[in-house]
Chains A and B, each alone.
Chain A
C-alpha cells in the first residue's frame, strides 16, 4: 500500500488495473472520459493486460463488456449522464442475464438543457434495473468500492452486476490523498473469476431466449432475492477488504452513521456532499444543536434494517441531488418507505452543479430545525430573473 495524490478517475482506473480486468468496453463521455484514457495509456505503457474495445456508443460499450463477461473474464466499463441513459437497455440486459460486470458512473446532470455538471439523476434512474448500486463519497472510496465490486458481483449468492457512482468533477477530477494497495494485496483479496454460466463451444447453451410467463416471473424473483442476499456478501467483502487491502475504511456496514448516537436530528445524504454535511454538523454541534449525518452508500440493495436502526426516533431530513418528477427526491421516498411513521422531511438541491458546501448545508439544517416545512427546493443564492421563453400558441 502506498499514498498517492490522485483524482477519483485515476483511483478508479487503478482499481480496474489492480483487479486484473481482462476486457474494457470504452466510449468517452464527460466526466468519466479520463478513466478510459488513463486505462488506454496504461495499456500503451505495457502496464495493463486488458483488451480495450473501442465502440461507437455507450449501448455498444455495455454490450461488448457484457459479451466479454459472458465469455468468462472480468469486464468493466464507465459512463455518465446521457451515456448511461443510452445504455439503459443493455444495463437491464446484463442484470437479467445475471452476469457479473462492474461499471463506474461519473454522475452528471441529464439534458436538455445541456449541462455537464454534477447531480445524481442519471445514477438514480437505474434503481430498478437489478444492479447493485454503491455510491462513493471520496476518491478513496471510489477505488475501494470498485475493487470490492468484483468480489461482491462474483459471489455465488449474488451473481449480479454492480455500478459505483462517483460525483462528476467533485470526485472525478479533484485530486486528493488516496491509499493505493499493492497488486499482491488485491490478488490476495480477489478470488479467481466466478460466474453462473459461460460461453463454451464444447458445452453450448442458449442465452437471451423467450421464457414463458411463470418462468420469467421466477427469474424476476431470483434477482430480487439475490439483491437481498447481497447485503451479507457486501458486509463480508467490506470487512475482508479492511483486513487484507486498505485498513482505513469503514466497510463493516452498508451505510455509515456520523454522530447519530445522541442526535435528535439526522441528515440523510449520499455522495461527496456527505463530507460537507459532516463538517456542517461539527460546527452546529458547537452551537449545541444535536444533529448527525446518515450517509447512504448502497442504494441497492437497500439497507432496510440499518436505516431503521439508525433513524428511528429522530427527526429526519433527506437531501436529494436528483428528482423523480411529480414525486420528489428518490432517497426521500426510500427512507420514508423504511420509516412510514417517522417525522421525515425532504429537500431537493444541488441539481445541475448548483454548489452546496458546508455553509449551505448549515443553512439547510438550520431551516429544517427551526421551520421544518417549505424548503423542498433549496437554492443557495437569490435566483435572478430567468428569461426563458413563454408558451407560444400556433394559430
Chain B
C-alpha cells in the first residue's frame, strides 16, 4: 500500500527572504572578542537567532540581525557594543 497520501503539517526552519534586514537597520552589534567570556547569553536571548557561536567565538549574521540591542544589553561582560550603521 502506498503511503504517498500521508502529509504532515510541519516545516523545517530555514532562512528566508522575509527576515532579511535590508537597509533599515540603524545600529549594529559589534563584538569585542577580547572581552567575551563565552557565556552564550547573547545567543540565548537574541530574538532573531542571528548570533552564531563557533568554537567559543561569537559572530553575528548581519544579513538578518535587526539591531535591537538585546544581545548588548544581556552581555554580562559588556563585550557587545552597538555602533551606528552610518
Contact = CB atoms under 8 A, between A and B. Distances in A.
Interface string B3-39: 1011111111100000000000000000000000000
Contacts of B11: 205-206, 209
Interface in A178-230: 196-197, 204-209, 211, 218-219, 221-222, 225-226, 229
B1 A205 contact: no
A98 B8 contact: yes
B9 A98 contact: yes
A222 B10 contact: no
Nearest to A221: B5
Residue of B1, B5, B13 with most partner-chain A CB within 10 A: B5
Contacts of B10: 197, 205-207, 209
Is the contact region of chain B dominated by helix, strand, or loop, or is it mixed?
Answer: loop
Contacts of A211: 9
Contacts of A204: 12-13
Given A205-B12, A205-B13, A206-B12, A219 B7 contact: yes
Residue of B1, B7, B11 with most partner-chain A CB within 10 A: B7
A96 interface: yes
Interface string B51-74: 000000000000000000000000
A306 to B, nearest CB: 20
B13 A222 contact: no
A222 B3 CA distance: 10
A343 interface: no
A196 B6 contact: yes
A156 B12 contact: no
A338 B80 CA distance: 69
Given A157-B1, A229-B1, A96 B6 contact: no
A219 to B, nearest CB: 5
Interface of B: 1, 3, 5-13
What 9 pairs across the A-B complex have the smallest Cβ distances? A225-B5, A222-B7, A205-B10, A196-B8, A206-B11, A98-B8, A206-B13, A197-B10, A219-B9
30 contacts: A98-B8, A156-B3, A156-B6, A157-B1, A157-B3, A159-B8, A196-B6, A197-B8, A197-B10, A204-B13, A205-B10, A205-B12, A206-B10, A206-B11, A206-B13, A207-B10, A208-B9, A209-B9, A209-B11, A211-B9, A218-B7, A219-B7, A219-B9, A221-B5, A222-B5, A222-B6, A222-B7, A225-B5, A226-B5, A226-B6
Interface of A: 96-98, 156-157, 159, 196-197, 204-209, 211, 218-219, 221-222, 225-226, 229, 232
